[in-house]
Structure 1
């Protein structure tokens, strides 16, 4: 049987509210998530042994293979489903690591989709969703890999009908550890970051199906990323990236994604996004820059 292929698309948090920290230590979030047209590529060749090989320009940044979320997700699914067919994974790594765009989570989600295809499992199989959440908080949203409003610890997903959004993604090629950013937020177990009124307001609907790009940008601009401040204190380059994005012509909204250090800007059209990316790449050749669309 030939190898099966899936993409692990970059996840972008267009907004991110931290509602509070639960008594179990996990943080409750509310985040509008979309996915970019840049992605890692994961191939699964059926075989008797589970294995993982990393290739691509950023393979060296993946760390120890044994710690990779692709293998963690596969092993957890194997524990959940007896006699699960496995095989050898090859990961072509092109997305920055520890970058706030869910690269590792997207790879794990791609692994689950590949194993589902190999074993004739439905993508909405409850066991897939359970294993996704057990693998990592961002894996469930990456499993669907479509725009949604994500709440809780990543377990509640409400699909959104967002238009294609021309964008530029920029990472200054410095890793930022998610745990350090949440630690810098400084919430105690059981502490709310926002008031009850604010929490209730988060349930407000986003633009309905058919909403224009302008309507979406206006709604997103009213939001925030609560992790941007603490992440910038840990890595001041984030502030420089946002400033560089804001300095490009036509940037409607510039913000950090996830826990950083990747930041994004939204534009009216792909031509403006391409010109902005070219400008930033020329001024900062050491940065990772991508122009494309979110959906």
Structure 2
């Protein structure tokens, strides 16, 4: 099959994964979603999405996790491209090549990142001249996690997580992402969170980001940030997949400054003091046989950006 980057007029966009440094889950809203207060950080695991005009819609998967990429209309990148085409009355089909290096279904917004990259690529390909507000509006229509990969860096999310405000931060943080072999679906985790709260009679307040985490980011202190990591969905993830608790505890025992289930899981994110400490932690976790894959990254990094155009 001919892949998109070799096609005339291809546009390629690079986009990062995310980790939730803090995720506070409020009460269920009338629309079925939960109110969220979260802090995102973009990290240096990237997908590249290339789009080019084509005779019919197609998805061309490649990269580390290519076998896990859906190639039908359920792919969020296809939905993003069709949304732009419908909104601006563009009557063209696209070949969408996804070079997948962000873990799939790992709580790192890989599918959302591809959708964000596709929005940027379609804007460039079709010469629409959209600004960041236009792109963010489209992203919010596609999913709660889609707006953040457009922006990158560090940001606080509210509402369903799609309403973003930049966060002042200092320094670079080093991560090890341990990917479990026990899959989890986001609706399943939220449902379990609700069940546990109801069982325990927990009064759920409106969510707010903690001052400790914000102070840790402003100071650039990795030890303080490691101590402030928090995810309200973690008890639900541990309830559904007890092995995740073993993985989190093992990483902390092996020297991580902090460990947290990323989003709804099943990836566990470990913060380390340095690049060298991340290497050491990776070796220890690999020997533990508690995860199927390990990735190292640093953050924050920039959001979705064009890396190749027809003029290149």
TM-score, normalised by the number of residues in structure 2: 0.83
Work out whether residues 96 and 173 of structure 1, in 8 Å CA contact, stay in contact via their aligned partners in 2. no
Check if 1:218 corresponds to 2:210.
no
Which residue of 2 is the match for residue 289 of structure 1? 294
Describe how 1:82-161 pairs up with structure 2 within 5 A.
82-83=89-90, 87-122=94-129, 124-161=131-168
SS across alignment from 1:16: strand
Distance in 2 of aligned mates of 1:203 and 1:116: 38
Distance in 2 of aligned mates of 1:213 and 1:205: 11
Change (3 A) 1:152 1:204: farther
Which residue of 2 is the match for residue 237 of structure 1? 243
Describe how 1:184-199 pairs up with structure 2 within 5 A.
184-186=192-194, 194-195=204-205, 199=207
Change (3 A) 1:207 1:285: closer
Change (3 A) 1:63 1:264: same
Give deviations 1:240-273, integer Å, cap 9, x for gaps.
Answer: 2212211223x11111110001111111211111
Provide structure 2 residue ranges, at least 5 long, that are not aligned to the other structure: 1-7, 301-312
Distance in 1 of aligned mates of 2:93 and 2:212: 43
TM-score, normalised by the number of residues in structure 1: 0.87
* Range moving further from structure 2, 251-260 or 93-102: 93-102
Which residue of 1 is the match for residue 52 of structure 2? 45
1:220 Cα shift? 6.0
Provide structure 1 residue ranges, at least 5 long, that are not aligned to the other structure: none
Give deviations 1:32-88, integer Å, cap 9, x for gaps.
Answer: 100111122212223454321112232222245221100011111111112276521
1:144 Cα shift? 1.5
Distance in 1 of aligned mates of 2:179 and 2:94: 33
SS across alignment from 1:207: helix
TM-align CA RMSD: 2.7
1:222 Cα shift? 3.5
Which residue of 2 is the match for residue 69 of structure 1? 76
Which residue of 2 is the match for residue 270 of structure 1? 275
SS across alignment from 2:149: helix
Distance in 1 of aligned mates of 2:227 and 2:80: 35
The alignment of Structure 1 onto Structure 2 pairs a total of residues equal to 288
Give deviations 1:69-113, integer Å, cap 9, x for gaps.
Answer: 000111111111122765211112232222111111011111111
